[in-house]
Amino acid sequence: MNKSKSIKNDSKYIWHPFTQHKISSLPIKIVSGKMTKLKDDKGNFYLDLISSWWVNVHGHSHPYIAKAIYKQSKKLEQVIFGGFTHDPAMDLASSITKILPVNLQKVFFSDNGSTAVEVALKIAYQYWFNKNKKKKTFIAFKNAYHGDTVGAMSLGSGSELFSVFKDLFFKIKFFDYPSTWYGDLNIKEKENIILNKIENELKKNNDIAALIIEPLIQGSGGMNICRNTFMQKLSRIVKKYNNLLIYDEVMTGFGRTGEMFACTKTKTKPDIICLSKGLTGGFLPLSLTITSNKIYNNFLGDNFDKAFAHGHSFTANPLGCAASIASLNLFKSKKIFKKIKNIEKQHKIFSKKLLKLKSIEKIRICGTILAFNMKGYGDGYKALIPKKIKKFFLENGLLLRPLGNVIYIMPPYCILKKELKYAYKIIYEGLNKI
């Protein structure tokens, strides 16, 4: 089969995510990936600066993870998880709970970030239900993104992305996310206003089942960063009113914010946490929803009535678990956090240069993530930065995927200093060209 024919088969047979096929150009065919680099069918290389939708924390095709999957596949590839269990699941559950806040003790498996959130919502709802209380409203933040299933979309309905489906959504109370950036002078005031509003809501509204937040940074909503202190105060308020706090760490988990998790970085203890994306090191779809024993114990009873009636065909797939254990092992090396700190340091040096550019604003850094807004193109998903700048990045071998008017970098942690420097240089040139 020749190369051009294989790309035609893409348009003939495949429906891509988040794509308007009538106007989009043909996708790039990737044939291999190694560490930070992806190679296309024409022999071009791309520096994967977004870890391929934020999953490849250790870079592509890491041999240690590949080997762990292969080894597991020869032993046990899959088994029903109702009434059965296996070592990879137990090993992963015990390893992950050891590095999370001590209250998080029970691990529920599913397959992706959206289902991890869906599970968290259902657990929160049923937690109250099992206590003979009906609470149907969730608190979420404007511009939040929690996934594409209907429940997760409800939580994200503060943004314009899901307006088509709005009649299907359940009740959400939205609050502003206290985004901040270099040179932001009124952040404290912004935070206080938001915290007061949330506290009032929790005080007067008996229908709140839980509050869900992307801690420290909202991903798809535009890489909006908030401060540690906000997370701490928010957590205190939710606890004060005995409500449930859910952290969606699908993106922030596994080193992204500079430490293993946003909850460990902020020293806060959510009641439920959702993990996916970096969990398997980007090799396989798997996710975890982890709760406290306090919540879990509410699902116990002498018959099935209080049980959590939820499960997926591939719950706790052994290959996904093996990949996750291997990925966690890689995090045991001190070197990796040194690399993470170094990425942050490099971002900070580059940001000083960016501060001088008039075409951009709101420069911000959280761990390995650097982001800024391009001025003059509006806000949100529909703000389109010029195609020619995206083209310029690709032609120079950078894989970047701006969110509306927001340009960001979120590289695999194995990125070399010289690769980062090259990326900064091309981005700077690109910004100067328009």
Ligand X SMILES: *Cc1c(COP(=O)(O)O)cnc(C)c1O
Binding site for ligand X (CB under 6 A): 112-114, 117, 145-147, 214, 219-220, 248, 250-251, 276
- Least separation in angstroms between residue 81's CB and ligand X is 19
Residue closer to ligand X by CB (options 168, 349) is 168
- Least separation in angstroms between residue 74's CB and ligand X is 27
Q: How far is C-alpha 380 from the geometric centre of its chain's CA atoms?
A: 18
Residue closer to ligand X by CB (options 320, 430) is 320
Contact of 136 with 209, CB cutoff 8 Å: yes
Residue closer to ligand X by CB (options 276, 317) is 276
Cα–Cα dist 265/229, whole Å: 11
Q: Which residue has the tokens 């930065």?
A: 385
Residue nearest to ligand X (CB): 113
Contact of 141 with 158, CB cutoff 8 Å: yes
User: Per DSSP, what are the bridge partners of residue 212?
Assistant: 246
Residue closer to ligand X by CB (options 251, 360) is 251
Cα–Cα dist 154/127, whole Å: 19
Cα–Cα dist 370/352, whole Å: 12
Cα–Cα dist 198/202, whole Å: 6
Residue closer to ligand X by CB (options 409, 426) is 409
The two structure tokens encoding residue 183: 């040179």
Residue closer to ligand X by CB (options 282, 430) is 282
- Least separation in angstroms between residue 144's CB and ligand X is 8
- Least separation in angstroms between residue 1's CB and ligand X is 31
- Count the Cβ atoms, other than its own, within 10 Å of residue 149: 15
Radius of gyration, CA atoms only, the chain = 22
The two structure tokens encoding residue 222: 């535009």
- Least separation in angstroms between residue 3's CB and ligand X is 29
The residue type found at 188 is K
- Least separation in angstroms between residue 377's CB and ligand X is 23
Residue closer to ligand X by CB (options 157, 298) is 157
- Least separation in angstroms between residue 250's CB and ligand X is 4
